[in-house]
Each structure stands twice: as structure tokens, then as C-alpha cells.
């Protein structure tokens, strides 16, 4: 009880929160953790030329934490993006790493992980469809 009183005196306790203006307190905090990240490059040389395939894979775990109760909802997702470049033999066949594959793979991973969590929360009646 002493610790709770000390926390309230510092403005940490939920009992003494003062809302000013249009500020709305967060109901959930979201944490994201990358558990897999890989980039691969494959090169295939044929009579017609060179085909280079760059692949980016990102795996993420998303956690929604209820700010009031501490209840945690988790979901994971994986995103993959591929860049293909074809060049003729004798041409410059250097492929620069395509930064957009990181963005595409990240978006896919976050969307799939978050969608799983929201579906569970809808089933439990926390969110409406």
C-alpha cells in the first residue's frame, strides 16, 4: 500500500491521472519483435543471359498488451519479397540490393501478425467487427 501511495505521488498510478484537453489514454501498447531476417541472392547463368533473384524474408512477433489489466495477445507473421533482374551476357550484371524489398516484407509480416491478434480479440468481444 505504501508503494502504491508513492507511485500515486509521482503520477504513475491510474488513480490520479488527470486528462487535459482531448488526450485519450492508451488502452493497448503494441510491441514488435523481429525473430527472423534473411536476404538471399541466387544467380542463374544461361545462354540467354544472367538472371539474379534477391529474396528478403522477415518474421515478426506482435504483442498487444492491455494497459489496464496487462493481458497480452500475441501473433506472428512472416513477410517475403523478391526482386528479379535479367541481364544479357556482357552487360553490367551487378544487382544493387533493392531496399524496397525490406519495406514490402515488413509490411506483409506486420499485417499478417496483427490480423491474427485482431481476429482473436474480436472473438473475445474486445473489438467489434
Query: What global pTM score does this model have?
Result: 0.63
For residues 127 and 121, what is the distance between their CA atoms, to the nearest angstrom? 6
Spatial CA neighbour of 28 closest among 62, 66, 71? 66
Q: What is the pLDDT along the chain (129 residues), one digit of tens a residue?
A: 455 555 555 555 555 556 677 777 788 899 999 999 998 888 888 887 888 888 999 999 999 998 888 889 999 999 999 988 888 776 665 545 556 788 888 889 989 999 988 888 888 888 776
Count of CA atoms in the C-beta half-sphere (13 A) of 112:
14
Q: Distance between CA 118 and CA 3 in Å, rounded?
A: 35
Rg (CA), the chain: 24
Strand-pair partners of 67: none
- Residue burial 97-123, b: 16+ Cβ < 10 Å; e: rest: eeeebbebbbebbbebbbebbbeebee
Give residue limits of the domains in the chain: 26-123
Amino acid at each position: 500500500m505504501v508503494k502504491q501511495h508513492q507511485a500515486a505521488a509521482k503520477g504513475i498510478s491510474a488513480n490520479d491521472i488527470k486528462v487535459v484537453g482531448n488526450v485519450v489514454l492508451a488502452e493497448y501498447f503494441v510491441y514488435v519483435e523481429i525473430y527472423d531476417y534473411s536476404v538471399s541472392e541466387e544467380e542463374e547463368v544461361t545462354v540467354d543471359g544472367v538472371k539474379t533473384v534477391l529474396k528478403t524474408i522477415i518474421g515478426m512477433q506482435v504483442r498487444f498488451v492491455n494497459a489496464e489489466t496487462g493481458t497480452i495477445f500475441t501473433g506472428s507473421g512472416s513477410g517475403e519479397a523478391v526482386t528479379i533482374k535479367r541481364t544479357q551476357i556482357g552487360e553490367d550484371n551487378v544487382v544493387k540490393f533493392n531496399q524496397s524489398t525490406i519495406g514490402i516484407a515488413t509490411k506483409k509480416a506486420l499485417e499478417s501478425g496483427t490480423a491474427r491478434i485482431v481476429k482473436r480479440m474480436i472473438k473475445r468481444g474486445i473489438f467489434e467487427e
